[in-house]
Structure 1
């Protein structure tokens, strides 16, 4: 299975967790809209989520020391310290940095793109997030793959891990994309440090 890069576990990180299924002694977890992971009772997922017990329709999870009973199909958000200021990302096998987070409170997946002027998403993601592109200003966005036609608008909140920024410039393209591009309208608010296959984003303001 090819896995995208993920957020490192830690107390300052918020996680969106759902239970996709259970069977004797194991639970199937989905973290930050990532790939399903089968985790045995008493074991932890790579994100640090421990499965304490399973029942017919739910799993008891421990996340950063907090216990949650989560039904199959239910999603729960668990935060550690309120208000993180940094997040560390791991590169995937193609060298891309993928991050879980949220836009206006709805969970999404980002791909870091320093070649993108703003945060960029496709129309499918915009609909899922309740965003009407036609309310934006028509224009073009610069991405690593060149210029694309877009509608420009503002997002109230963007969260990467447990770090939140507000009033973010974003653009919706005419065609769908595999990820929401985390462009410079967000990245300019962070100090970026790269060490091999790790990237740390530290909030400036």
Structure 2
């Protein structure tokens, strides 16, 4: 038995002792004890399955378009999804969202639902923006994202456009990527590096090949 298995066994035995102690301290009937034991067994089994199958669950997540995302050596790395695109886990004003990274989009674009959830207000005045999309031209409202975080990357006061015509799609555009120190694709991994604020260098983005 490995050390991990030994620790797991000790944990389960300790949890069982605590549950039994609590039950007998209240002196319930046999039926209540059996129901409680069955309930705890189901919970323990579910936790065990999640822990043991975490790799399988991660693969399933990638299958449904959610690529792996991690921070390594000061860079944020995103695995290409099965659809050939890069999807990032992003926080907008503290609200978590799944966003498509698109170097072909000039400006970051948000659905109306995401803007509402993250308390991002559109500008009441000024003219709307005309955007060309795969479904034709649409009108969008201007907005500003107070705070956006992707892995170890962060930006404040990022311009964005908002429209209910985007459906449930949220896109990170070039105006965010251009704030980075650099970004590139190696194989099926998108590597994003933060800007070197000490040198105030302009970002030098490369071409994102998502074919």
Under a length normalisation based on structure 2, what TM-score does the superposition of the two structures give?
0.57
Is 1:154–1:167's contact at 8 Å kept on the other side of the alignment? yes
Partner of 1:154: 144
TM-superposed deviation, 1:87: 0.7
Is 2:50 the partner of 1:39?
yes
Is 2:211 the partner of 1:200?
no
Match of 2:45 among 25, 32, 53: 25
Partner of 1:185: 175
Which residues of structure 1 form unaligned runs of 5+?
Answer: 1-21, 29-37, 49-79
1:116 match: secondary structure: coil
TM-superposed deviation, 1:24: 2.6
Under a length normalisation based on structure 1, what TM-score does the superposition of the two structures give?
0.58
Is 1:98–1:112's contact at 8 Å kept on the other side of the alignment? yes
Aligned-partner Cα distance in 2 for 1:176–1:141:
11
Count how many residue pairs are aligned between Structure 1 and Structure 2.
Answer: 141
Is 2:120–2:144's contact at 8 Å kept on the other side of the alignment? no
Aligned-partner Cα distance in 2 for 1:148–1:175:
7
What are the residue-to-residue correspondences of 1:66-77 with 2, within 5 Å? none
Is 2:111 the partner of 1:96?
no
2:50 match: secondary structure: strand
TM-superposed deviation, 1:109: 1.1
Which residues of structure 2 form unaligned runs of 5+?
Answer: 1-41, 59-70, 198-211
Aligned-partner Cα distance in 2 for 1:120–1:104:
15
Match of 2:112 among 123, 146, 149: 123
Higher helix share: 2
Partner of 2:156: 166
Q: 1:113 to 1:131 in 2, by over 3 A?
A: same
Higher strand share: 1
Q: 1:144 to 1:114 in 2, by over 3 A?
A: farther
Aligned-partner Cα distance in 2 for 1:87–1:158:
14
Cα offsets for 1:58-106 (capped at 9, x unmatched): xxxxxxxxxxxxxxxxxxxxxx99xx95211111111110010201111
